[in-house]
Amino acid sequence: MMGELVLSIRDLRVTFETPLGQLEAVRGVDIDVHEGEMIGVVGESGSGKSVTFLAAMGLLPHQAKVSGSVMLNGQEMLGASNKVLRNMRGGVMSMIFQDPLSALNPVHRIGDQIVEMLKAHQPKMSNKDAAKRAVELLDVVGIPQAAERAHQYPHEFSGGMRQRVVIAIAIANNPKVLIADEPTTALDVTVQAQILEVIERVQKSFGTAVVLITHDLGVIARVADRVNVMYAGCNVEKGGVDSLFDHPSHPYTRGLLASLPHEGINRLTPITGFPPNMLTPPTGCGFAPRCSHVTDACLATLPPIRTFGDLETACIRAEEIVVKAGLS
Amino acid sequence: MLRFTIRRLVWAVPTLLLVTFLVYIALRLGTDPLQSYLRANPRATKVKIAQYKSVNGLSSNYVLGYFNWLKNFVTFNWPRSIKGSREVWPELKDSLVNTVRLGSLATFVGVVIGLMVGMFAALKPGSRRDVAVNTAAFLGISIPPYITAVLFQLLFAVYWSRWFGHTLFPTSGVYPPGHTGFDLLLMLKHMALPTIVVAIQVIAVYSRYMRSSLLDVMNSDFMRTARSKGISERRILFRHGVRNALIPVVTIAALDIGSIIGGLIITENIFAYPGMGMYFLSAFGTGDFPLLMPWMVVVVASTLMFNLIADVSYAFLDPRIRLD
Amino acid sequence: MFHMHFWIQGFVLTEFATLSPKRMAMRRFLSHKAAVVSCVLLAVMVLAVILSPITARYGVNEQVRKPPNTFLPPQRLAWFGTDEIGRDMYSRLIYGIKVSLIIGLFSALISTVVGCVIGAVAGFRGGRFDDVVMRVTDLFLAFPFLVALLVVRNTIGGIGWLTAIIGDKSSPRFVVFLLSFFGWMGVARIVRGQILALKEREFIEAARAVGATRRYIVRRHLLPNSIGPIMVALSFAVVGSIIAESTLAFFGYGPQAGDGGTSLGILVGAAKGAVQSGYWWIAVFPCFALVLISLAINFIGDALRDATDPRLDRGE
């Protein structure tokens, strides 16, 4: 019942030239997004999850070397001309960001910032129509008295309200894909739920595919259809949200789940150690140094991602681990 | 904003009074106006001396003396200069006009070029052109203006005529000696070198301001939002980048323009340009109190006024700032 | 173990253990080639000045032997030529640099210390004291610097008991105090700004929560954390003072050559007259030395700023 494939990322690699050397932020990532679905991307800071989608949008600075393939709506994004990229950005795929307090230009009115997005992709639209549409959009994302608020500046809005504005800008041109990069991290818990609700409403009523980038597994469990776990610039595990939460196979995913509060469990188990330095990435599995199941084979080569039951995993010992977990 | 401006203007009056009072004390202590008078008029009669003292407010009580001076000043009953007993206002006015002309030309040229150069560098941080701009700016701020001026003189007053047999840019005054009337071309030729000397400094300073301000803005989150909208590069740069980067730069520029009225002393002195700086140096050198006080009032007033302009322009450009 | 986040355009790219902040700063400083070259250059100059009995070929006021010795262009006898009374410009330049460096260094040190104290108190205490200090510095920073310098010079130079302490108007000591009188304001503003920003940071809150005294917090946390900007301000203050001294001297208001002393300013000041007559060497060498010194210190200051500013995404 999956819809058409709208975004397909294949073997994406991103390397940054830094004063300290080459930094391998993303090391061969594959992600598929289908029409109208909500896909969660989980990982900690520095796992490459944001960089992956910035690369897909063509928003990385020029020091970044990007290779692989990003097909968006049948159009290759990597190496595409500026004109094509501009049409796709904000038109077919748009993005909302982590910190709503700084994501809006402080010197322009809210309404004007939405109008700018509208007119960038619908140049024939009149100023009056664009202004009217901007107010409608503010209304859609749940901003009361939208007509008056459109004339205000960002600093006159609360954090949650600003995030709604950012969403209004992002969905202005009915994009096929909406990338939400930790949209709730900077917000209060009560506001988080409201913002998630707005995003879900957008997904359901406009049929927009949503990529929800987060480190919060709770959020994923609540709204996502499929999950993609990333670690040290690689996919480590992916699959349907239920299967992944029910019987995770990769030690990292298991660790993440174990560090979440559960009913009936009164001790949380943290993952010990630190993520690797991506200036000198390990040759083997990125998680191996922190893994309790590590063998010599894990350290030798980077394990490829493979099908494992109804999941895909990058752990070479997935079978043994699942069996062991089942026994204990 | 209007209320803020009015309130600040009202406050400017006592500030001006306080500062001119301090200047009055400093000048009386520092230049000894009575001595200066006696030096210039060694055979002045007692009556003349008393008259000089009263019209300049030079009584032994500083507070009384200041108010005495102030009364004469605001009623335009200005004392004449010590040297040559000239009227002060026409001389001050001419100097002011000359300095404003030189200062505004140099500031305009300097700020426009500086902003463009800074922007140019910030667009490709770390690139060869960025390094080149940075190094040039460093040279610009490291070379004191009088060195540039002296080197220009060496080049244009001495060597150019020696090598090419004619003068390209004259190195002193506004017009050649003996010239009367208005001649734009001749004036611009005379202003060229001092303008360049001042403009070099302005370019160096403002290209650095603009570069760092624009780089800060370029790294901010809303620029990423702007890029994600799919709008043109030029629109991203100007409507989002430059628009925000200009806020601190304009504020600093307003302050700088305020201090230019009394701040071109070095350049004016070297090029014998008859502006506020020359006026000050000659008056200060002879301790000419009647010439110095009005000069100080003009300079302090312009400083205060442009301070206010800086604040108002800041609020005008940045909606987050509320003045009240 | 220190932890570093690697940011680009607001994103954490990676997070890893790294060298201590001091070593990182050192490494970043050394990566500025211009600054390293400047350090070497300054070191050579300081050495030449300290060893002036060896490096200088003549005394300050000593004339080059072999008349006619006035206005000699550069030659073996006098490397940088001679001036109007036949003194060796090369030797005079060394003595001049010595005086200028001493004036620059001392007045910068005094202004930095005074500025730190006033800025720290203003920033930490706030209130009325803060208001007054900031108003005064505002006014002075906006007022034409040279005018203020000249007026204050004459005013405090005319007060008898004060000159007993800070020296006569024309002595280098007086110039040091005069420049310090204005120099502290910039530093005070920087330190105050740092303190205001740091005051809100968590580790200060934490220190306060466990009952640290105000003095302890200032000494242990606030000042060490603003040491970077202070060093930067110090280096720029040195350039500022050297240029200010030379400007004063250029107009004849600096230290006087009366007892045979000299300074970069005095040498550059002499250039004005010499230029008109075409004695280029009298202008070029002192000007070049002054520009070199100010350029070198500016480069060092800039590299210090880069090195002590922990943001890595400055676009390099």
DSSP B176-233: -TT--S--HHHHHHHHHHHHHHHHHHHHHHHHHHHHHHHHHHHTSHHHHHHHHTT--H
User: What's the rounded Cα separation, in Å, for the pair B208 and B194?
Assistant: 22
Contacts within 8 Å (CB) and 24+ apart, A194-197: A194/A142, A194/A160, A195/A160, A195/A163, A195/A164, A195/A167, A196/A222, A196/A223
Average pLDDT over residues A271-291: 84
Question: What mean pLDDT value characterizes chain B?
Answer: 87
pLDDT score for C12: 56
Q: What is the pLDDT of residues A78-104, one digit of tens each?
A: 988 989 999 999 999 999 988 888 899
pLDDT score for C264: 84
Q: What percent of chain A has pLDDT over 90?
A: 56
User: What's the rounded Cα separation, in Å, for the pair A91 and A85?
Assistant: 10
Say yes or no: B150 contacts chain C, CB-CB below 8 A.
yes
Q: What is the pLDDT of residues C114-163, one digit of tens each?
A: 998 888 888 878 788 888 888 788 777 777 888 888 888 888 877 777 77
Q: Could you tell me the pLDDT band of residue C195, with boundaries at 50, 70 and 90?
A: confident
| 8 Å CB contact of A107 and B228 | no
CA distance C66 to chain B (A): 29
Question: Is the confidence at residue C315, as pLDDT, over 50?
Answer: no
Question: Is the confidence at residue B108, as pLDDT, over 90?
Answer: yes
pLDDT higher for A156 or C251? A156
pLDDT score for C7: 55
Cis peptide before C73 (omega within 30 of 0): no
Return phi, psi of residue C6, to 5°. -105, 115
pLDDT score for C314: 41
Q: Which residues pair with B71 in a beta bridge?
A: none
CA distance C312 to chain A (A): 9
Q: Which residues pair with C8 in a beta bridge?
A: C11
List Cβ neighbours of B69 (8 Å cut-off, separation of 6 or more): B24, B56, B57, B58, B293
| 8 Å CB contact of B30 and C10 | no
Say yes or no: B299 contacts chain C, CB-CB below 8 A.
yes
Chain A residues with CB under 8 Å of C17 CB are 274, 277
**Which of A257-266, B44-53, B68-77 has the largest mean confidence?**
B68-77
Q: Could you tell me the pLDDT band of residue A326, with boundaries at 50, 70 and 90?
A: low
Note the Cα C163 to chain centre separation in Å: 24
pLDDT score for C257: 55
Question: Is the confidence at residue B202, as pLDDT, over 90?
Answer: yes
Average pLDDT over residues C175-186: 87
| 8 Å CB contact of C145 and B263 | yes
Question: Is the confidence at residue C312, as pLDDT, over 50?
Answer: no
Say yes or no: A166 contacts chain B, CB-CB below 8 A.
yes
Q: What is the pLDDT of residues C226-243, one digit of tens each?
A: 788 888 888 888 998 999
User: What's the rounded Cα separation, in Å, for the pair B112 and B116?
Assistant: 6
A-facing residues of B in 303-322 (CB < 8 A) are 317-320
pLDDT higher for C265 or C310? C265
CA distance B180 to chain C (A): 26
User: What's the rounded Cα separation, in Å, for the pair B238 and B236?
Assistant: 6
Question: Is the confidence at residue C11, as pLDDT, over 60?
Answer: no
Contacts within 8 Å (CB) and 24+ apart, A131-139: A133/A172, A134/A168, A134/A172, A135/A111, A137/A168, A137/A169, A137/A171, A137/A172, A138/A110, A138/A111, A138/A114, A138/A164, A138/A165, A138/A168
Average pLDDT over residues A61-69: 88
CA distance C8 to chain A (A): 8
pLDDT score for A144: 93
Which one of A19, A54, A275 has the shortest CB-CB distance to C31? Answer: A19
Say yes or no: C27 contacts chain A, CB-CB below 8 A.
no
| 8 Å CB contact of A99 and B226 | no
pLDDT score for C313: 40
| 8 Å CB contact of A45 and C12 | yes
Chain A residues with CB under 8 Å of C31 CB are 19
| 8 Å CB contact of B230 and A90 | yes
Say yes or no: B247 contacts chain A, CB-CB below 8 A.
yes
Question: Is the confidence at residue C208, as pLDDT, over 80?
Answer: no
| 8 Å CB contact of B228 and A105 | no
* Subunits close to A (at least 3 CB pairs below 8 A): B, C
Closest CA to B138 of C294, A88, A215: C294
* Subunits close to B (at least 3 CB pairs below 8 A): A, C
Question: Is the confidence at residue B77, as pLDDT, over 80?
Answer: yes
Q: At what angle do helices C89-125 and C127-142 cross, to 10 degrees?
A: 150
Which one of B122, B153, B221 has the shortest CB-CB distance to C275? Answer: B153
Is residue B27 within 8 A of residue B293, CB to CB? The reply is: yes
In this structure, of A59-68, A243-252, C115-124, C306-315, the range with the lowest mean pLDDT score is: C306-315
Question: Is the confidence at residue A122, as pLDDT, over 80?
Answer: yes
| ipTM for this prediction | 0.86
pLDDT higher for C159 or C301? C301
In this structure, of A41-45, A115-119, C56-60, the range with the lowest mean pLDDT score is: C56-60
Chain B residues with CB under 8 Å of A117 CB are 229, 231
pLDDT score for B133: 92
Say yes or no: A104 contacts chain B, CB-CB below 8 A.
yes
